[in-house]
Structure 1
Amino acid sequence: MTSTPASAEFLAPHEFPALRAFGYGEAQAQALAAARAAFPGTLPARVSRVERNGYRLQTESGEQEAVWPAGRRHKLLDVPVIGDWVAYAPPEDEEGVEQALRIEAVLDRTNTFIRSVQKGRRTQPQVLAANVDTVFVMTSPEEWDTERLARYVQAVRLSQAQPVILLNKSDLARGDLLERAQVAGLEAPVLPISAQGGQGIEALTPYLQAGQTVALIGSSGMGKSTLTNRLLGEDAAATGALSDFSGEGRHTTTWRTLYRLPVSHISGGALLIDNPGLRDIAVWDDEGAAFWAIEELAAECRFSRCTHGREPGCAVRAAVLRGELDEDMVDAYREAQGTAQASGSGRERPERRGEKRPRRR
Structure 2
Amino acid sequence: MSIKYFTLHQLGWRPGYSHHLTLQDFEAGYPARVVGVHRSGLSVLSARGASTVSLLHGSATGVEPAVTVGDWLLIEMDAPRVLRVLERYSLIVRIAAGSEHRMQAIAANLDTLFVVTSCNDDFNLSRLERYLAVAFEAGVEPVIVLTKADLCADVGAYLDAVRSIAPTIGFMAIDATSATASGLLAPWLADGQTVAFVGSSGVGKSTLANTLVGDSTQATGGIREDDARGRHTTTAREMFVLPGGAWVIDTPGMRELRVGAIEAGMGAVFDDIETLAAQCRFHDCRHDGDRGCAVESAIAGGQLDGRRLVNYRKLQREAANAVRTTRERREQDRHYGLLNRTAQRLQREKKGRDY
Asked if Structure 1 and Structure 2 have the same fold, meaning a TM-score greater than 0.5 normalized by the shorter chain, the answer is yes
2:19 aligned counterpart, secondary structure: helix
2:218 aligned residue: 237
Seq. identity, %: 30
- Cα deviation, 1:112-131, whole Å, max 9, x if unaligned, reads 111123532x4221111111
* Compared CA separation, residues 292 and 57, structure 1 to 2 (3 A): same
Distance change >3 Å, CA 303–CA 252, structure 1 → 2: closer
Gapped runs of 5+ residues in structure 2?
Answer: 263-319, 345-355
Indicate whether 1:126 and 2:113 are aligned: no
- Tell me, what secondary structure is at the counterpart of 2:106? strand
Q: What SS class does the counterpart of residue 8 from structure 2 fall into?
A: helix
Q: 2:16 aligns with which of 27, 33, 37?
A: 27
Cα gap change, 1:36 to 1:296, in 2 (>3 Å): farther
Whether the 8 Å contact between 1:146 and 1:184 is mirrored in structure 2 is no
Partner of 1:67: 54
Structure 1 pair 156/205, CA: closer, same or farther in 2 (3 Å)? Answer: same
Measure, in 2, the Cα distance between the counterparts of 1:140 and 1:17: 35
SS in 2 for 1:183: helix
- 1:292 is displaced (CA, Å) by 3.1
What residue in structure 2 maps to residue 55 of structure 1?
42
Q: Which amino acid aligns with 1:177?
A: A
> Structure 1 pair 44/294, CA: closer, same or farther in 2 (3 Å)?
farther
Aligned to 1:299: 333
2:72 paired with 1:85: yes
Q: TM-score, normalised by structure 2?
A: 0.69
Q: Select the structure that is richer in helix.
A: 2
Which one of 282, 289, 309 corresponds to residue 258 of structure 2?
A: 282
Q: Which runs of 5+ in 1 are unaligned?
A: 1-15, 93-100, 264-268, 306-351, 355-361
Task: Tell me the CA shift for residue 76 of structure 1.
Answer: 5.4
- Cα distance in 2 for residues equivalent to 1:244 and 1:34: 59
Counterpart position of 2:25? 36
Whole-Å separation in 2 of the counterparts to 1:49 and 1:191: 29
Amino acid at match of 1:27: G
Give how far 1:256 is off.
0.8
Deviation of the 1:47 alpha carbon: 0.4
1:78 CA displacement: 4.9
1:107 maps onto 2:96 in alignment: no
Q: Which residue of 2 aligns with 1:208?
A: 189
The 3 A distance-change label for structure 1 pair 220 and 302 is closer
- 1:297 to partner: Cα distance: 6.0
Per-residue Cα deviation, 1:165-221 (whole angstroms, up to 9, x for no partner): 111111122315334334331353321011113444422121112232111111122
> Is the 2:93–2:103 Cα contact (8 Å) retained in structure 1?
yes
Bigger relative contact order, structure 1 or 2 (CA pairs below 8 A, ≥6 apart): 2
- Which aligned pairs between 1:1-361 and structure 2 lie closer than 5 A? 18-33=7-22, 36=25, 41-72=28-59, 77-92=64-79, 101-120=80-99, 122-141=100-119, 142-175=121-154, 177-186=157-166, 188-243=169-224, 248-263=229-244, 269-285=245-261, 288=322, 292=326, 295-296=329-330, 299-300=333-334
| In structure 2, distance between residues paired with 1:59 and 1:217 | 26
Paired with 1:66 and 1:241, the residues of 2 have a C-alpha distance of 36
**CA deviation digits over 1:48-77, x for unaligned, max 9?**
112244221011122212222335477651
1:181/1:190 contact within 8 Å kept: no
Residue identity in the other structure for 2:109: N
Q: Which amino acid aligns with 1:221?
A: G
8 Å Cα contact 1:215-1:272 kept in structure 2: yes
Question: What letter corresponds to residue 198 of structure 2 in structure 1?
Answer: I
Mean Cα deviation higher: 226-235 or 136-145 = 226-235
In structure 2, the CA distance between the partners of 1:301 and 1:246, relative to structure 1 (3 Å rule), is closer
1:35 Cα offset (Å): 8.0
